[in-house]
Amino acid sequence: MNTSDPFGALATVTESGIWFTERLGGLGTVYSMPFAITFDGPLDETALAGAIRQVVARNPVLAAAFVERDGLPVRVPAAVPPLLTTVDLQADPDHAEAIERAEIERPFDLARGPLLRCTLLRLAPRRARLLVVAHHIVFDGHSTSVFVDDLAAAYAGDALPPLDAAATPRDQRLAALLPGARRFWARHHTGATDVVLPGLRGVPGTAGPGEAVTFDLDDRLWSAIRSTGRRLGHSPFVITLAGWLLLLRRYGNKTPMIGVDLGTRSPAEFPHIGAHVNELPVALAAHRGETFRDFTTRLVAEFGLRSGADGLYRYREVPLSRAVGTVRPAVALAPVTLGYRRREAAAKFSGLDTVVDWALPNHTSRGALRIHVVEGPEQQRVTLQFDPGVISRPDVERIASHWRELIRAVADHPDEAWNSLPFAGREQALTQAGRATSSGPRTTLPELLAEQIARTPEATAVEDRGASLSYAQLGAAIDALAQRLHGAGIGTGSVVALLARRGVDALVAQLAVLRCGAAYLPLDPDHPAARNTRILADARPDLVLTSHDGQTALPAVDAPVLLWDSASPAAGGFAPGRPPHPGECAYVLYTSGSTGQPKGVQVEHRSLANLLLDFRDRLGSGPGHRWLALTALTFDIAALELYLPLISGGTVVIVPPEAARDGQQIARLAADHRVTHVQATPSGWQLMLDGGLALDGVTALTGGEALTEPLAQRLAGRAGRLLNVYGPTETTIWSTAAELPDAGPGAIGTPIADTTVHVLDEWGDPVPPGLLGELWIGGVGLARGYLGRPGLTADRFRPDPFGPPGARLYRTGDLARQRGDGVLEFAGRRDEQIKLRGHRIELGEIETRLLEHPQVARAAVVSVGEAGEQRLVAYAVPAGPPPSPAVLREHLAGTLPAIMVPGVIELIDALPLNTSGKVDRVALRARPVDAARPDAPAPHGDLPTAAGPVREIQQIWSDVLGTTAIDIHDDLFDLGGHSLTVAQISARIRARLGVDLPLHVMYDKATIAGMAEAVVGESQRRSA
């Protein structure tokens, strides 16, 4: 800093970075740095005002403002110098907090100043409080201590000596350090900018409104931090930083990154006030089994956290955007940032007792979590700033508790594996996982049905195509076919393939197979013959049972075939040797395999009975309940809508297969048959609601796909009762259930009877409530395994480390989080979570944001292209007049980071569905994507509508960058551009083209083509 001539010079690198990010807009008071001094005693206000003037005179930067000249910030005198303002609150001291908050939240004007405000609040005759608010461009954490010490000295009457300039000008130091910094960051910069925190909702913005959680470390913990540091040879800062990195790792961040504020003062600059700080990222993955001692040693070694080492400390003056071309300046380089400051005891003010509040909250947030740590002589104070719009106060308080517990554990056990130490949330997660207290029901579906037939023989059991069967008639039909099957050698342990479309005959066939003690394997005649052939070859059934309508689709099969129609009752009925045992297989259902080969899931009777009995109690099922059966028999959820009414005295109303994809036909049939219960996937519900389905008094179950909030609201507003249910085929249909809307958005509820549901990290450890993990399910509902696939069964069904001996868990591949109240929230498939240019992206989040647009009825987003060349494509079904893709893109850009906005948005009439009624994402990914559509990026070359601006902007880039080898689609930052480059280009575009593009627009459109498009758009907007 040139203290003899502080004005008229270009801003420093740090000041320029702050100036640039401030001009991006939307930052509020994120750069305001408030602190306060409370005085008790006879305060001399005149002496205090004089002392402030002395401190400002000694540090002229406090009297500065910053204006733009040729796109660059220049330091100039403020329009008004900093002065002391007094507010007398002796008559109303309780009003002080409101005045403080208003003063802290009052924005600064960088171009006019002043950038330091001092307000004295007179609270009582002998009590006053000085509130100081400075803009970060002229102040940093260390400046607070310097300001207080200098103010105390000047108040005592001491003359403050002039400051010495640094021995080496800062620009010379930067030039010397830059080559080494580039080599260092080439090895250590990960580029990752996402984070996982408990309860974090969505993607945090760079800055926003904020709240704070503040706590002091107790004496025992602060002593443990210092003693552990001495024992391991590290400072309390390293112990603190390592603790936060390990906590983020425990939360599921594979390579956690924290943006760390590092002071950049040279020894001669320690007495200076100003912005002498640089935020740099520290990203380090903790290995499983690594001790805290080893982790801290590796942290210090890899990032050079010792004076003189080749690393952060040596290169702390070099902004990351100068060392790494692809990094763009921002208010926070990482979602979690840490500012750590040491201070000695505050200087004494002559004749006064003083208390200094070193870091008051400025009511803003930076990224997801901003950690302020002030290390004093006796204690450590921690403040966590956060945006309540993306994370709640209870979640932040839980994070604070987790950090304290982790620090305590590693301090007590520095030579034990960090991941084996006790961790808050583990016991709570296990307690909320549910309980599997038995081996399941001792009954089976055939026994439950027989009991119901005996209770209500004359009641209507099934209605299909205008005909109906009573319970007695249904029982007789089952016995007749069971007798034929028995005569064909079918019995306990047999597998019978059933090739039939949904209808009363197929229902009778399934129940007849179960009556014999065998397991049925449903096949759909409308599926490709090749698929059915593969399944039959894999399953090798003992018999294939088919009807006349299925016979035409019967593939070649190496098994006996039995053709049947509706059978006549057999004389005397059918008497099996014994009823099936609960541990025997009830059905085999084939699901898609990741290798392309379907796999057969074997579900036992006890698992099916457990589900049916739970939902009978949960729904209060009984006579008068009429269930719509509209699901394909090859989709496991069909079993609930077929069997639950039959064990409860209700009626099954079968939807003919040809009507199942016509929402209007389903709606008419439901109304004509006075249906009371309907189960469908969200895609199916959308179809039926669009077809006019009335839901007055109807109990609605939805599952099989993620339920969007707009659809949930639509259903909850119409249905008498709404349940969102979840479960894979391997855990018998549904494993959890949530009552909506009470359970909240995204809720899939809590486990059903005798079921456990764990949310685990990649190492199989429970994650704390609020964190994302993979769902593992245990209990009675678990399938036996995959037919003929012992290796696959062993891989997906693992020993349960939390249960009794012999217990198992099924790995679902689904992501979820468990709330503090135990309710689970679904978060999509693990394989629908993609990495795009280093960013972890949930496709479901993009779909949710699309559905928030009033002109979008349905939406799906897929990733297309090979690894490294992936791009996002969104498909939207309009609700009413179709919106343009540009409108939808603008809508998404307002709520999502640019990386998550699909490059192509296509409007289609309907989303393709598979036979299970779910969105067919394979079909969407196979659709051709037209790169020449208006919403796709322009091809290389000139842009016809922006030819003039393209040429002008090409020339501007050449002038600023000093090269002509530039393509109009080259990224400015890839060419070595940085914040000041952008500012210079912005100023020259304004001068040559008369268009003032906001810096955030240039930041998002950092190509010549993008800037030209923005210039044309702005010109058209102004002339409209």
3-state secondary structure 364-388: EEECCEEEEEEECCCCEEEEEEECC
Segment 592-606, tens digit of pLDDT: 765 557 899 999 999
Percent of the chain exceeding pLDDT 90 equals 50
**Sequence-distant (≥ 6) Cβ neighbours of residue 12 within 8 angstroms:** 1, 170, 274, 275
Q: Which amino acid is at 97?
A: E
pLDDT, averaged across the chain:
86
R_g (Cα) of the chain, nearest Å: 35
Above 60 in pLDDT, residue 452? yes
Nearest in space to 356 (alpha carbons), one of 371, 341, 337: 341
- Is residue 774 within a helix (H) or strand (E), and if so which, with residue range? strand 772-779
Beta bridge partners of 736: 726, 751
Contacts 24+ apart (CB under 8 A), 456-464: 456/623, 456/649, 459/623, 459/649, 459/651, 460/651, 461/646, 461/651, 461/652, 462/504, 462/507, 462/651, 462/652, 462/654, 463/651, 463/652, 463/653, 463/654, 463/673, 464/503, 464/504, 464/654, 464/656
Q: Are 973 and 325 in contact (CB under 8 A)?
A: yes
Q: Are 261 and 340 in contact (CB under 8 A)?
A: yes
Segment 210-225, tens digit of pLDDT: 899 999 998 899 999 9
**Spatial separation of the C-alpha atoms in residues 619 and 448, rounded to whole Å:** 17
pLDDT of res. 368 = 84
* Phi then psi dihedrals of residue 341, to 5 deg: -135, 130
Percent of the chain exceeding pLDDT 70 equals 89
Above 50 in pLDDT, residue 934? no
DSSP 176-201: HHHHHHHHHHHHH---------TT--
**Spatial separation of the C-alpha atoms in residues 67 and 11, rounded to whole Å:** 10
Confidence of residue 636 (pLDDT cuts 50, 70, 90): very high
Segment 454-507, tens digit of pLDDT: 999 999 999 999 899 999 999 999 999 999 999 999 999 999 999 999 999 999
**Spatial separation of the C-alpha atoms in residues 563 and 542, rounded to whole Å:** 14
DSSP 474-502: HHHHHHHHHHHHHHTT--TT-EEEEE--S
**Sequence-distant (≥ 6) Cβ neighbours of residue 473 within 8 angstroms:** 461
Confidence of residue 832 (pLDDT cuts 50, 70, 90): low
Distances (CA, A) of 636 to 74, 627, 776, 897: 69, 16, 19, 38
DSSP SS3 for 884 = coil
* Phi then psi dihedrals of residue 227, to 5 deg: -70, -35
Confidence of residue 189 (pLDDT cuts 50, 70, 90): confident
Segment 768-820, tens digit of pLDDT: 888 888 999 999 999 999 999 999 999 999 999 999 999 999 999 888 988 88
Sign of CA dihedral 936, 937, 940, 945: positive
Above 60 in pLDDT, residue 30? yes
Sign of CA dihedral 423, 427, 432, 436: positive
Q: Among 120-129, 751-760, 938-947, which is the least confidently predicted range? A: 938-947
Q: Among 192-206, 321-335, 753-767, which is the least confidently predicted range? A: 321-335
| Measured torsion, CA atoms of residues 440, 446, 451, 457, in degrees rounded to the nearest 10 | 150
Above 60 in pLDDT, residue 942? no
Euclidean distance between the first and the last CA atom of the chain, given in angstroms as a whole number:
48
* Phi then psi dihedrals of residue 1019, to 5 deg: -65, -40
Q: Which amino acid is at 646?
A: L
Q: Are 627 and 650 in contact (CB under 8 A)?
A: yes
Segment 389-442, tens digit of pLDDT: 888 999 999 999 999 999 999 999 999 999 888 776 666 666 666 666 667 789
Confidence of residue 941 (pLDDT cuts 50, 70, 90): very low
Q: Are 521 and 600 in contact (CB under 8 A)?
A: yes
Q: Which amino acid is at 866?
A: E
Q: Are 494 and 542 in contact (CB under 8 A)?
A: yes
Angle at 220 between CA 217 and CA 224, to 5 degrees: 95
User: How many beta carbons lie within 10 A of that of residue 821, not counting itself?
Assistant: 11
Above 60 in pLDDT, residue 261? yes
DSSP SS3 for 994 = coil
Above 70 in pLDDT, residue 335? yes
- Greatest mean pLDDT among 344-353, 379-388, 509-518, 912-921 lies in 509-518
Could you identify the residue written with the tokens 């979570």? 833
pLDDT of res. 1018 = 80
**Sequence-distant (≥ 6) Cβ neighbours of residue 743 within 8 angstroms:** 724, 749, 823
**Spatial separation of the C-alpha atoms in residues 14 and 277, rounded to whole Å:** 7
DSSP SS3 for 503 = coil
pLDDT of res. 247 = 94
Segment 638-658, tens digit of pLDDT: 999 999 999 999 999 999 998
Distances (CA, A) of 738 to 700, 730, 824: 12, 20, 9
Q: Which amino acid is at 575?
A: A
Q: Are 860 and 847 in contact (CB under 8 A)?
A: yes
**Spatial separation of the C-alpha atoms in residues 372 and 393, rounded to whole Å:** 16
Higher pLDDT, 942 or 993: 993
- Domains of the chain, earliest start first: 13-155 (3.30.559.10), 177-351+358-424 (3.30.559.30), 445-451+468-580 (3.40.50.980), 837-926 (3.30.300.30), 944-1023 (1.10.1200.10)
- Greatest mean pLDDT among 116-120, 305-309, 371-375 lies in 116-120
Q: What is the 3-state secondary structure (H, E, C) of 312-343?
A: CCCCCCCCHHHHCCCCCCCCCCCCEEEEEEEC
Segment 672-727, tens digit of pLDDT: 999 999 999 988 998 999 999 999 999 999 998 888 888 999 999 899 999 999 99
Q: Which amino acid is at 321?
A: S
| Cis bond before residue 446 (omega within 30° of 0) | no
| Measured torsion, CA atoms of residues 790, 793, 798, 804, in degrees rounded to the nearest 10 | -80
Percent composition of the chain: helix, strand, coil (DSSP 3-state, to 5) = 35, 25, 40
If you average pLDDT over residues 17-24, what whole number do you get?
81
| Strand pairing class (856-864; 871-878) | antiparallel
**Spatial separation of the C-alpha atoms in residues 859 and 849, rounded to whole Å:** 9
Distances (CA, A) of 172 to 4, 169, 177, 907: 19, 5, 9, 56
Token output for 651 = 């009626």
Token output for 769 = 């409530």
Q: Are 384 and 212 in contact (CB under 8 A)?
A: yes
- Predicted model pTM: 0.72
Confidence of residue 996 (pLDDT cuts 50, 70, 90): confident
Token output for 491 = 């019995």
Above 80 in pLDDT, residue 865? no
Token output for 472 = 């007695």
Nearest in space to 652 (alpha carbons), one of 373, 812, 462: 462
| Measured torsion, CA atoms of residues 570, 573, 576, 579, in degrees rounded to the nearest 10 | 130
* Phi then psi dihedrals of residue 752, to 5 deg: -75, -175
Above 50 in pLDDT, residue 567? no
Segment 35-82, tens digit of pLDDT: 999 999 999 999 999 999 999 999 999 999 999 888 889 999 998 888
Nearest in space to 628 (alpha carbons), one of 545, 691, 553, 550: 691
Above 70 in pLDDT, residue 191? no
DSSP SS3 for 759 = strand
**Spatial separation of the C-alpha atoms in residues 533 and 522, rounded to whole Å:** 13
Could you identify the residue written with the tokens 């007094």? 86
